[in-house]
Amino acid sequence: MTSREFFDKMQTIDRRWIFLLISLAVIIPLLFEFSFTELATPEVSAIYNRIEGLQQEVGRRPRTLISFDFDPPSEPELMPMAISLIRHLVIRNHQIYMMALWPIGQQEADDVVRQYLEPEFPQYTYGEDYMTFGFQPGGAGLINVIVNDFRKFFSVDSRNNPIDSLPMMADVVNLFDMDLILDLSAGAPGIKEWVQFGGDRTGVPVAGCVTAVQAPLMYPYYPRQMFGMLGGMKAAAEYESLVLEAYGAESDDPRISADARFLGIRRMGPQTFAHLVIILFIIIGNIAFFATRGQRGASRLTVDS
């Protein structure tokens, strides 16, 4: 095989080899549980610090609204964020109000409650410490209405309890009564609608927890209209690292202190190796491209002469 043939082959590697290497890059780190502790970026720290200091800021038990605007395809990125945010909010004794602008979002909220909130924090009571409004269609229109009145759209919660029967709704009329809005968003309706129709109109601070694909589109809102942002798996792992660092060591509950429970940190192993495989193929492709381009140029010169 001549060098020309070799580099030509390098430029057109069968994509099944790429698929195989990506599979291995994901499976091996998952099997051996490679994980790293992440250093938090300012966007991530902003959310963590806000949740930490909110009680002091508002002078009473803080009320936080979390909107689950995603579905299973975005779950690997957004679910680790949802879990660690819920853990952090509970540890900081926030009242948590959950809702969804996406139909499947309600199921995602229920999964977090069933699999993490209820077993890890049995002292947290439904209706007093947390509640789920459920899904309602409307997107921006829905936010527009709850800016003035939650009860216009939600007469009952997702469990069919009348809203007024829940103690934590006694002093809540509209979105102005919230102290913090966190949106787990995978598209539209999502964080853009929360910023434009929720945060901007009420002045309630909004933070977005978005997929890595969506993150670049949201930077224009940061930091004035959106005080913090978790973008993709890396940010999820960074947030988990912050929670783990602050509360993991001193917690008696092995479910909180064990690294294995933190999905983002565990999933950063496969992501790191998959990125490296992609980088490797980009480098190989470019070396082969330049090598064959040089040879093509040389052969053209020979023909011309």
Partner 1 sequence: MKKQVPLFITFLFGTVMILATFIPHYPFKLADTEMSMFFDILAAFAILLGGGNLMRIHVTKVAKHKKGWAYSLITVVGFLTMLIVGLFKLPLGPTSGVGLENSQLYMYKLYQFVLRPLQSTMFALLAFYVASASYRAFRAKNREATMLLLAAFFILLGRTLIGTAITAYLPGIVEIFFAIVLGWVAWDQSKSKNWVIVGLMGAIGLFLLGRTIYGYGVVLTGGEMEFITIPKLVNWIMIYPQMAGQRAIMIGICLGVISMSLRIILGVERSYLGSDTE
Query: How far is C-alpha 250 from the geometric centre of its chain's CA atoms?
Result: 26
Shortest CB 111 distance to partner 1, Å: 9
Shortest CB 286 distance to partner 1, Å: 6
Shortest CB 252 distance to partner 1, Å: 29
Alpha helix (H) residue ranges in the chain: 3-11, 15-32, 42-58, 75-91, 105-112, 118-120, 140-146, 191-193, 200-202, 215-218, 232-243, 254-257, 263-304
Nearer to partner 1, 47 or 113 (CB): 113
Nearer to partner 1, 52 or 110 (CB): 110
**Distance between CA atoms of residues 301 and 262, nearest Å:** 60
**Distance between CA atoms of residues 191 and 40, nearest Å:** 21
State the Cα torsion 110-116-117-119 to the nearest 10°. 110
What 3-state DSSP class applies to 4? Answer: helix
∠ at Cα 130 (124, 131), nearest 5°? 135
Nearer to partner 1, 62 or 68 (CB): 68
CB 95 within 8 A of CB 102: no
Nearer to partner 1, 54 or 97 (CB): 97
Nearer to partner 1, 121 or 135 (CB): 135
For 267-304, give the DSSP string.
HHHHHHHHHHHHHHHHHHHHHHHHHHHHHHHHHHHHHH
Applying CB under 8 A, the residues found at the interface with partner 1 are 13, 15, 18-19, 22-23, 26, 36, 38-39, 41-42, 71-76, 104, 106-107, 110, 113-114, 132, 134, 136-138, 141-142, 144-145, 148-149, 152-153, 158-160, 201, 212, 215-217, 219-220, 222, 232, 234, 268, 271-272, 274-279, 281-282, 284-286, 289-290
Shortest CB 142 distance to partner 1, Å: 7
- Shortest CA distance to 65 belongs to which of 106, 99, 111? 99
**Distance between CA atoms of residues 269 and 242, nearest Å:** 18
Q: Angle at which helices 232-243 and 42-58 pack, to 10 degrees?
A: 50
Nearer to partner 1, 110 or 120 (CB): 110
Nearer to partner 1, 118 or 253 (CB): 118
Shortest CB 48 distance to partner 1, Å: 17
Shortest CB 92 distance to partner 1, Å: 25
Shortest CB 56 distance to partner 1, Å: 28
